[in-house]
Homo-oligomer: A and B are copies of this chain.
Amino acid sequence: MNAPIHPDHLLPQLNLRDTPTALIDALKARFGERCSTALVVREQHGRDESSFAAPPPAAVVFAESTLDVADAVKLAAQHQVPVIPFGVGTSLEGHLLAVQGGISIDVGRMNKVLSINAEDLTVTVQAGVTRKQLNEEVKSTGLFFPIDPGADATIGGMSATRASGTNAVRYGTMRENVLALEVVTASGEVIRTGTRAKKSSAGYDLTRLMVGSEGTLGVITEITVKLYPLPEAISAAICSFPSIEAAVRTTIQIIQLGVPIARVELIDANTVRMVNAHSKLGLREEPMLLMEFHGSPNSVKEQAETVQEIAADQGGNAFEWASTPEERTRLWTARHNAYFAAIQSRPGCRAISTDTCVPISRLADCLLDSVSEADASGIPYFLVGHVGDGNFHFGYLIDPNIPEERRVAEELNHKLVTRALALEGTCTGEHGVGLHKMDFLVTETGNGAVDMMRTIKRALDPLNIMNPGKIFTL
């Protein structure tokens, strides 16, 4: 799926440092075959789902323990060489690109669920456990982990980018759901942040400083997250609307009324077409809300009735229900594959993803103008959104060999972000800043706040070896 590197995709942030042979030798001595310098392995670890490209890292270390990670970081620190943590490579913002050279530490083999505390609704996992694996392993307890960014990402990667996804409207994001972390710091020391207590006022909130720090302050090696009782009743429904506006206005009312809806996803007509083609479905090719209700049977019924009423007022069709687990899985899998469906709709394309999030009352203003602009541009796109949170994604499907398409897509993105910020929103609801939103971050939060981030970075990583060149320039 990755196009060959075109000079235009090399980023201005590229500032390659040398990796001394002595470091590679030391890593090979410590890790044996678990340190690879094979080009194919390095290339696989040097890219992600973003549209950017950079030369691959100099080596990949396959860590099997926290000690492995600590030792690899210590060696890298000795040689002042960058370290980039790698989970499964589903980042959308270039987080994994070795823009300043260095080594990749793959935590994928650190995939043990360490302790399930069902009575306390917590579980502690190694960083390489993926969200699907986690849910498989806790299934027998009657609990589940709701955070769901679509891709089967690792819990480590999801923590590092402060991920969320379709269930966040009810269950929150990684910000709300990580209780504690084990982190390897820039000097290779292992620290723990937080306990299994549900709340704490014990000093600075290092847990939440690390959550969303994108690998720039340390490598997350263990995570304790909250679990939730599987709802007694779950119902999923599809509702088609005459316009995107009608679907959005329905969403706004649902949230303002305080309906505890578990999922409310917007898919535009065009994206429904792509999903139908990819997942062999026969969904009505109109703007659609895909919803899920969790609770007691009574509560689910109450919620659904309220929402049906609101939707009908906006011209929405009668709900189509997916009540069996199989039907629900098929629907949500189709939703999660929207990204891949879109990519396949234009062979050889890359997606430039947007990720704005605005206060719910501003959602219609932000979204509708951006749809008009995208339509006028002629660039094919998909549009999906966790609209209950005010968060939505355009994916502009560009031909990476046509620089003009990239320029137009970036211009659309720029207009969208500018609009979202003016509406008191954020440039990134869940993907992170990575390489692509550094300028937006400054516009959003101001130089003072970004300078504070830089000061923290310099203090905790004085050699600037932890995933350098991401979030901000130093």
Contacts and interface: CB of A to CB of B under 8 A. Distances in A.
Nearest to A391: B199
A69 B450 CA distance: 21
Contact of A455 (B256, B361, B427, B460): B460
Interface in A331-370: 355, 357-362
Interface stretch (A38-46, A81-89, A116-124, A283-291): A116-124
Nearest to A200: B426
B197 A358 contact: yes
Interface in A158-210: 161-164, 168, 172-173, 175-176, 185, 189-206, 208-209
Contacts of A194: 445
B117 A432 contact: no
Interface in A117-133: 117, 119-122
Contacts of A460: 452, 455-456
Interface string A419-447: 00100111111111100010011001110
The winner among A206, A299, A450 for most chain B CB atoms within 10 A is A206
Given A209-B209, A298-B299, A459-B458, A200 B428 contact: yes
A128 to B, nearest CB: 21
A416 interface: no
A50 interface: no
A272 interface: no
A60 interface: no
A197 B425 contact: yes
A391 B202 CA distance: 13
A257 interface: yes
A341 to B, nearest CB: 24
A244 interface: no
Contact of A196 (B162, B424, B445): B424
Given A191-B446, A460-B455, A199 B302 contact: no
A119 B206 contact: no
A449 interface: yes
A185 to B, nearest CB: 7
A468 B357 CA distance: 37
Nearest to A425: B197
Interface in A198-252: 198-206, 208-209, 211-213, 217, 228-229, 252
A56 interface: no
Given A424-B197, A425-B195, A460-B452, A444 B357 contact: no
A378 interface: no
A358 B255 CA distance: 33
A254 to B, nearest CB: 12
A360 B445 contact: no
A390 interface: yes
A4 interface: no
A273 to B, nearest CB: 29
A472 interface: yes
A114 to B, nearest CB: 13
A408 interface: no
Nearest to A209: B209
A115 to B, nearest CB: 10
A361 B117 contact: yes
Interface string A283-324: 000000000000010110010000000000000000000000
Question: 4 smallest A-B Cβ distances: which pairs?
Answer: A459-B459, A119-B361, A191-B448, A208-B208
